[in-house]
Chains A and B, each alone.
Chain A
Amino acid sequence: MKKERIKSIILIMLIITNLVLAEKILVNEKLWLSGYNFFVITRNNRKKNTVSVTESLSMPEKIIVNTGYQSSRFIYTRASENFASINGTASEVIKSAFRDTKSALQISRDDWYSALTAKSLYLSFSCSLTPDIYASFLGISALEVPISEFSDIVIGENGNVYLGGSNSYCKISASSSLISPIIQSAAEEHSDEESVINYSFDLNFDKNSGDESTVLSPMILIYSEPVTAFTVIPQNPAEKDGQVNEKALSGVLPIFGVNKSSARSYTEADGTLVYVENNGILKISPSGILTFTARGNGIKLQGGSDSSKIASFIDSVNRKMDIDADICLTFASISDGTAHFEFDYGIEGYPVKYKDACAFSATVKNGYLTEYSQILRIFNVTDNLGTSPDFIQALDNVIASYRGSLQEMRITKMYPAFFDGLSNEEISIDWNIDVDNVLAQ
């Protein structure tokens, strides 16, 4: 009996030793060819549910449902409950229209305005897109349309699709019955409210008249009421006690090809953490600004088109940093094998702006990421309701600040936005105003 017990103990010990030695071989990456270790790969690839940049590439920043009356236009931001379903339907109508663009023809600005102010859906994008880039977002073949860039799409109640650029417009004749129910539904949903949203051209704010030396771009929305939104507290996930939190970054370093245990790293005088690897230099500042600059080719990206490569990459970084925010495209350019994209964060349907910088910037050349920058941010929405200044008041303030230095002032963009000064303080909704300087003559 005693002998049996000893045998059992020896057997158990041998089994445990076997498991430990096997674990050393199976889990230790260094004893396997790089990338071959199944267990290591599965350990490193846990997925999280976050907003996908890939899905949001083709999304407009906002959709305005025009019921045909100036007093009943309804804005749906990305945070609105019905935004996804309206956008989904709009995308189907657009894709259907884009299948046959032979009927596409250039139209006048007045025709564009007519389409916009009739019963329609207006999709407003944050940046100008070429037809090819937009087609790649939708996963369809390149478009042949008589317009080189557009930032606005209008879908008429009957399914006609209109593309609007800064000074050129085109119409693609199509037919669809999907838009009418959306317009009707919006009207019913908001039947007890009056939403007065004018476009700048509605009120002739886009025209120089008499002594008035300030003009607004025609598509700027004129809000009759201040905008309300919950205040937000931005947080730098890569910072702890004023220093870069290396532990928080450990998950994101491998995405940039940095092996933390063997990478050359150092801290600069201002506290910026720098990792130097063969494929590039990664820097993270204490204020949460992450930059990657390639040495040689850069980081080889997986995926289809350049836009989906970049979107997937951003999704990976955000997953590792637990960043769960809407990401909105603000600039896109593809030329000679080089693609450059810029994005903003979006909170509660409004963009978050930074001084002289965008939240994300990425350049891909021949399938390799050569440059990348991101302002690492987590946004905590509070229960406090904030109100923006009155639209006209905000406009007057900007005009007053420029008066004297400019003879004519053109407001190219004006929209509600949050401003993050990188100080982790509570921020309230405000107005973003872009001015095109026209110098005194």
Chain B
Amino acid sequence: MDESTRAVRRLVAASAQAGMATGEFLRHVCRTAAHALSASGVGISVMTDDGTRGVCAASDPLSERAEDLQFVMGEGPCIDAFTTRRPVLVTDLGGSAVHRRWPSYASAAVQDGVRAVFAFPLQVGAARLGILDVFRQRTGPLTDEELPLALAFADVTVEALLDRQRGAEDGTVTPGSEPADVGHRAALFQAQGMVMVQLGVSLGEALSRMRAHAYAESRPLDDVARDIVTRRLRLEKDSS
């Protein structure tokens, strides 16, 4: 795990309260991220794979509006980031190319004072869970220090959403524990694909089951993944 992910996990865990409901927890992530990224606000939209919006949260009313607008108008950086499965980084919402790309959204957001939007997919490969949007009232890019942090906030949100799917309502990770890691290691993703087919569940569900197994057995997620790939371990259909 890299430094920024560790730092963000600590930041989120430090002030999160036990038993926070998902919406409340996401709002907490939004506020923490907005502060860490010198942003005017942050919004998170949880989405199903077909793009339907579910739970959403924002750090403040203006960001909530900037987030909602994209779904109302059916266009915007967040929608594109979800569709293309990659970040969409807009350093100047008032630019002419931006206006051509999202005519309605760009005008409306600028009118509200939003000048830059950075949209990050909440995803692990083909498993898509939603989008995290960073809003700023000034133009300009995220710095080389802020970009890794923003990506880390997206990863930490993905982890929390996956764990909450398994009913772990208090999905926050306490500092000092050895948390399961959405790393970028091949065996982890291969195991995810195997569990998907084996149990007939979605890719997201497959990963959340692997994480639950790792927690329950107090084993590193990577070890669990390796055992699945080498077929030494088979998750049971109704294991949690």
Partners in one complex: no
Could you tell me which A residues sit within 8 Å of B by CB distance? Answer: none
B residues touching A (Cβ–Cβ < 8 Å)? none
